[in-house]
Structure formats: structure tokens, C-alpha cells
């Protein structure tokens, strides 16, 4: 039975995600400018760096260590690097051959935002599952971590959709599916725990979090190479400060949570 806390978590996550995607989805013309939303992108870059290297990669390493206790090899790091390299190859492969109109970013095919949405929606779903099977105290901690990144990830994904050839209707539909990924995970979490053993659950967690770590690292560094947020938006003092703020806020969430292994 879904508890009151879980319903509160569902609606708060939906609200934060809706806020995160509002500007890019409702102002696609501004999103397609090369300058875009520099403050939002700077903050997102800092959040994604901390999510990748401070929260998700350590949690993935711990979970895969539990799943394969005799394996002395950094599997999580290798998986994260592979997905990082795969996204770099993919973006180079589907990069449009023409430049956009003056002052605008060239529009990409829908493939890249769709793949990025899937890669972020899956760990978001799994975090919802983790919340759904946790007690109240652990659930509150996991909810704090989800709220810390869900809106920021939504903003970044909506921006990628606006900078692709997807129609507004298609973008809204895909974004709604992303928004529902964590709430659906919360609602099915109790059932999932009945079918997966501790070792299998640790292996699944570790694999998914490794993929997410590589994805978030890529989005903060090399995505849209010539316009990557860490270069284009953080070169000013204000942009750099906002990036550090995003990193610090997310790292603080990790500090308040204690061990990230609960993921």
C-alpha cells in the first residue's frame, strides 16, 4: 500500500521536474540560441559533475563490489568510461553537417535527446524503486537526493529536446515520460524487491549507476563540444561561481546523506 510519504514524494518530484523543464519547453526559440540559458547550464554542469563523481560512481563501485566480492577490478569506472565514449561517438556521428541560423545552435536529430532521456530515466526509475522499498528515514534521504538533481536533469534534457528537430508536442510527450520515471519506480518498488535477491539487486544497481555516472559526466563536459557548459558558460566569473554552487549543493546533499551506498 502506498503511504502518505510516498504520495508526497511522487507529487513533489513531478512538481520539481515540471519546473526544471518549463523554460526550455515553453521558450524553444531562446533555448536554440547559442547563449541559451547560461546560468541554468552552468548550475547543471556543477550538479552533474557532483552526481557523477561524488554520488553515483562511488555507489556503483560499492554495489558491484557486493555483487562480485572476489573481483579486484574497477568495473564501475570502466562501464562509466565506455558509456562516456559511446555518447561522444554518437554525438559526432549524428552531428548536423550544417550550422544553425546566425546566433542559433544547429539542430540535432531526435536520436540524441531520446537516448540521453533513456539513460537518465532508467537510473531515475531505480532511485524511485530504492525510495519505495526504504523505511521513512532512508526514504527522506533518498528523496532529498532525487529532488537535488531531478529538476536540473529535466532542464538539461528539455534544452536538448528544444535544440533538436523534435516538435514541441513530441518534446512534451518524451519529457512527461521522463518526469514519470521516478514516481513509477516508487509505486512499483515494493513488488520489485520481492523478485530480486540481494546480489542481483546490487549488480543491477551498480550497472545502472555506472551508466548514469558516465552519462552525467558527459553532459557536464563534452556534450555539444564547442558550446559545452564548462567552457562556454563557465568562462565568466558569474558562470564559474554558479557552476561551483551547483557542485557544492549536490556534494552537500551527499554529505547529509552519509554513505551513498543506499542507492
Residue-wise pLDDT tens digits, 182-230 = 999 888 776 666 666 677 777 877 887 888 888 888 877 766 555 555 5
Give residue limits of the domains in the chain.
4-30+37-95+107-262
CB 178 within 8 A of CB 199: no
Residue closest to 207 by CA, chosen among 114, 87, 3, 68:
68
Average pLDDT of the residues in 41-70: 85
Q: Concatenate the DSSP letters of all residues of 160-194 into one string.
A: HHHTBS--HHHHHHHHHHHHHHHHHHHHHHHHHHH
Average pLDDT of the residues in 229-235: 59
pLDDT digits (tens, 9 = 90+) for 58-101: 888 988 998 888 888 899 999 999 988 887 787 777 665 445 45
- The helix/strand/coil state of 135 is coil
pLDDT digits (tens, 9 = 90+) for 101-156: 555 556 777 887 888 888 788 878 877 877 777 777 767 877 877 887 788 888 88
Amino acid at each position: 500500500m502506498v503511504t502518505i510519504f510516498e504520495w508526497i514524494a511522487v507529487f513533489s518530484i513531478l512538481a520539481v521536474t515540471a519546473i526544471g523543464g518549463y523554460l526550455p519547453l515553453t521558450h524553444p526559440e531562446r533555448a536554440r540560441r547559442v547563449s541559451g540559458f547560461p546560468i541554468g547550464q552552468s548550475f547543471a554542469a556543477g550538479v552533474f559533475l557532483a552526481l557523477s563523481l561524488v554520488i553515483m560512481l562511488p555507489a556503483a563501485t560499492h554495489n558491484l563490489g557486493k555483487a562480485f566480492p572476489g573481483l579486484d577490478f574497477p568495473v564501475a569506472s570502466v562501464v562509466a568510461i565506455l558509456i562516456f565514449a559511446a555518447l561522444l561517438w554518437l554525438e559526432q556521428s549524428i552531428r548536423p553537417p550544417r550550422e544553425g541560423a546566425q546566433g542559433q545552435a544547429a539542430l540535432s536529430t531526435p536520436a540524441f535527446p531520446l537516448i540521453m532521456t533513456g539513460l537518465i530515466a532508467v537510473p531515475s526509475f531505480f532511485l524511485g524503486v530504492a525510495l519505495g522499498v526504504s523505511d521513512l528515514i532512508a526514504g527522506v534521504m533518498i528523496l532529498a537526493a532525487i529532488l537535488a538533481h531531478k529538476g536540473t536533469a529535466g532542464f538539461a534534457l528539455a534544452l536538448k529536446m528544444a535544440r533538436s528537430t523534435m516538435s514541441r508536442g513530441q518534446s512534451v510527450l518524451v519529457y512527461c515520460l521522463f518526469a514519470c520515471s521516478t514516481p513509477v519506480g516508487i509505486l512499483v518498488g515494493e513488488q520489485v524487491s520481492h523478485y530480486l535477491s540481494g546480489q542481483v539487486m546490487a549488480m543491477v544497481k551498480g550497472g545502472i549507476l555506472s551508466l548514469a555516472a558516465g552519462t552525467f559526466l558527459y553532459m557536464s563536459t563534452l556534450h555539444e563540444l564547442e558550446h559545452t557548459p564548462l567552457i562556454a558558460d563557465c568562462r565568466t566569473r558569474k558562470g564559474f561561481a554558479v557552476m561551483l554552487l551547483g557542485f557544492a549543493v549536490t556534494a552537500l546533499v551527499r554529505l547529509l546523506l552519509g554513505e551513498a551506498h543506499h542507492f
